[in-house]
Amino acid sequence: MTQTPSQAEVPCAVDLTVSEQPMDSIPKEELFTTVIAPCSDAEPQEPAAEEPSETPSGFAGFGFSEALLKTLEEKGYKDPSPIQKAAFPELMLGRDLVGQAQTGTGKTAAFALPLLERLEGRSTQPRVLVLAPTRELAMQVADSFKAYAAGHPHLHVLAIYGGSDFRSQIHALKRGVDVVVGTPGRVMDHMRQGTLDTTGLRSLVLDEADEMLRMGFIDDVEWILDQLPEERQVVLFSATMPNEIRRLSKRYLREPAEITIKTKDREAKRIRQRSITLQNSHKLEALNRVLEAVTGEGVIIFARTKAITLTVAESLEAAGHDVAVLNGDVPQNQRERTVDRLRKGTVNILVATDVAARGLDVDRIGLVINYDMPFDSEAYVHRIGRTGRAGRTGEAILFVTPRERRFVGNLERAVNQTIEPMDIPSNAEINQSRLDRLRDRLSQAGLGEADDETPLLQELIQRVSQEHELTADQLALAALKLVVGDQPLLVTGDESWLKAPFRNDRRDDRRSDRGRDRRRPEREARPPEENMTRYRVEVGHRDRVKPGNLVGAIANESGLQGRMIGRIQIFESHSLVDLPKGMPEDVFSSLQRLKVLNRELQISRAS
């Protein structure tokens, strides 16, 4: 294996300085922070045609083997991203590392490439363990490891997660794997049963640590960390750095290098963000109008619950759209096929919940529609991050009810960008969009190259023209009518409701008032936190329930982020959970049927 380069050899602009605010447990003189400014504006240096370049360029300057460099070249990898340039030297040296970067910055390759390169020879025990918050992300990371290990045929990678056959995972582990990528719950299951041997583990990666925190898995992560060997490398990547993640890094990482990626404003603003204020009852009609007027190469529609995804998908299918659904009820193998269809373009519209869409990475997504406003800004950032990937531009549209308008400012602060107001597309806008699409199709067909059937079609046109004495214009018009079909080309329906004044939903107001009256005695005793409502669930200590069980189950069913779930108090036969005020009735209904540890929550507002 080639020698690891020094940091002075790292390409691109990397500034290594002593951190001004080191972690309490790490001496100031020993903690380094790497701050990277994206280098996308720099012109690539072309190597000389005859003589090799003295200065390493691309991936060649990090000490990677020829086999790995050849694999990267075959896959079209030319230059490392900023986070990769900073992480490679540290991880090749075996240092612990804390990396803060948004999704889509190349962080998977940032830890996968050096960890793979440091694996030497064969082993019967896993040497690298990667923890991911969802099975989709676990599969994606495992696929990346397999792709990078193409030049190392002796290395074996395995993804383990819930929803797949446990026995087949056991057989694979017994045969021997080098890299295990899994969700915390399934990794714990294998460790407890003794089927996952971690005594030979050399490196642990916590990918999207903040997501694991929000989904209630942080206790599971700490349990896993406590079982691992003393001497190991720990790598933590997170889009944000909440206090809990900082505490975790202080406890389990030793003298870590810190990497922070500063995103340029122009890159952050590749996504045009707009919002439509409307009544909840008008959402489906508005959605159809947006899809007609705002064209996107691929579209993802985010809904709050599984029930809403089905309602939206049925409405769009009735309107003639080809739609796929991703929610918690969709089996894992079907999820994989659905994402593959979206990636290949055989389906253009995906309706999904937040949980099912974690780890979804499809470059061709041009439009994201937030059919339901997310409960917090982190979920919003994650949703709109599904578009504008791989250097492309994208568009995000947010549906906002009058009662939700006050929350838009929080989202704008999270993305440091204005969310422009937008009207529901009118008949005129829809008609213009339809005409534009028809013109584009006609232009592409006219400019397309001839194929084997072109002479046959030309002969058919001449015959019809001679038999009926039709001009070329008449034939072209007839062909266009065949393309348009029986449905009218232009929309002429009533659109007066588009400008209807907003009204308050009295039923919601009455429901809120009743909720406040019923909660008053309890709030006076131990009031919930601000903007929270207290609920009672019929599981408690006797059921061996833990806070993480409740957080994970509620987040998975409702689309709520774990951070938005407030105080949890567990008693012998029941528990109290604080959830955000104004939770929609459909979310409440879905939680009533939810099971935790095989017992129904039977959630109700606490009295």
For the segment 544-594, what is each residue's pLDDT rounded down to a tens digit? 788 878 888 887 777 776 777 888 888 888 888 888 887 777 777 777 777
- In the chain, the amino acid numbered 541 is H
Nearest-angstrom CA–CA distance, 533 and 47: 63
Residue 29 has pLDDT above 50, yes or no: no
3-state SS string over 178-194? Answer: CEEEECHHHHHHHHHHC
Among the residue ranges 207-216, 363-372, 455-464, 579-588, the one predicted with the least confidence is 579-588
- Residue 281: the pLDDT is 87
Question: What average pLDDT does range 338-358 have in this prediction?
Answer: 84
pLDDT tens digits for range 93-110: 999 999 987 666 778 889
Q: What angle do CA 557, 162, 381 make, to 5 degrees?
A: 50
pLDDT tens digits for range 352-366: 987 666 667 788 888
Which of 501 and 327 is assigned the larger pLDDT? 327
Residue 488 has pLDDT above 80, yes or no: no
Nearest-angstrom CA–CA distance, 454 and 465: 17
Nearest-angstrom CA–CA distance, 64 and 170: 32
N-to-C CA span, the chain: 66
Choices 3.40.50.300, 3.40.50.2300, 3.40.640.10, 1.20.1050.140: CATH for 266-426: 3.40.50.300
Residue 201 has pLDDT above 90, yes or no: yes
Residue 335 has pLDDT above 50, yes or no: yes
Residue 368 has pLDDT above 70, yes or no: yes
What is the CA 140 to chain-centroid distance, rounded?
Answer: 11
DSSP per position, 217-240:
-HHHHHHHHHHS-SS-EEEEEESS
What is the CA 529 to chain-centroid distance, rounded?
Answer: 29
pLDDT tens digits for range 41-55: 333 444 444 444 443
Question: What average pLDDT does range 497-524 have in this prediction?
Answer: 46
Percent of the chain at pLDDT > 90 equals 27
Query: What rounded mean pLDDT belongs to the chain?
Result: 79
Fold observed for domain 506-605: Alpha-Beta Plaits (3.30.70)
Residue 523 has pLDDT above 80, yes or no: no
Which of 513 and 561 is assigned the larger pLDDT? 561
pTM of structure: 0.50
**Beta strand extents in 76-219 (DSSP E only):** 97-100, 128-131, 157-160, 179-182, 203-206
- Residue 305: the pLDDT is 87
CB under 8 Å to 513, separation ≥6 — which residues?
none
Helices (H), 271-328: 283-293, 306-318
- Residue 512: the pLDDT is 39
- Residue 24: the pLDDT is 44
**If DSSP codes are grouped into helix, strand and coil, which group holds residue 381?**
helix
122-131, 385-394, 446-455: which is most confident: 122-131
- Residue 127: the pLDDT is 94
Under a CB-based contact definition with an 8 Å cutoff, are residues 575 and 539 in contact? yes
> What is the tally of helices (H) and strands (E) in the chain?
22, 22
Among the residue ranges 293-297, 391-395, 513-517, the one predicted with the least confidence is 513-517
Residue 158 has pLDDT above 90, yes or no: yes
Question: What average pLDDT does range 496-517 have in this prediction?
Answer: 50
How is the chain split among helix, strand and coil, in percent rounded to 5?
45, 15, 40
Nearest-angstrom CA–CA distance, 371 and 399: 5
Does the domain spanning 7-39+61-263 belong to CATH 3.40.50.300?
yes
Question: What average pLDDT does range 429-442 have in this prediction?
Answer: 83
Per-residue confidence band for 390, with pLDDT thresholds at 50, 70 and 90? low
Residue where the block lists tokens 């206090």? 243
Q: For residue 512, what is the enclosing H or E element?
A: helix 506-525
Question: What average pLDDT does range 113-128 have in this prediction?
Answer: 86
- Residue 592: the pLDDT is 73
Residue 20 has pLDDT above 50, yes or no: no
Nearest-angstrom CA–CA distance, 370 and 399: 6
- Residue 359: the pLDDT is 62
Residue 36 has pLDDT above 50, yes or no: no
Under a CB-based contact definition with an 8 Å cutoff, are residues 533 and 594 in contact? no
Under a CB-based contact definition with an 8 Å cutoff, are residues 204 and 233 in contact? yes
Residue 252 has pLDDT above 90, yes or no: yes
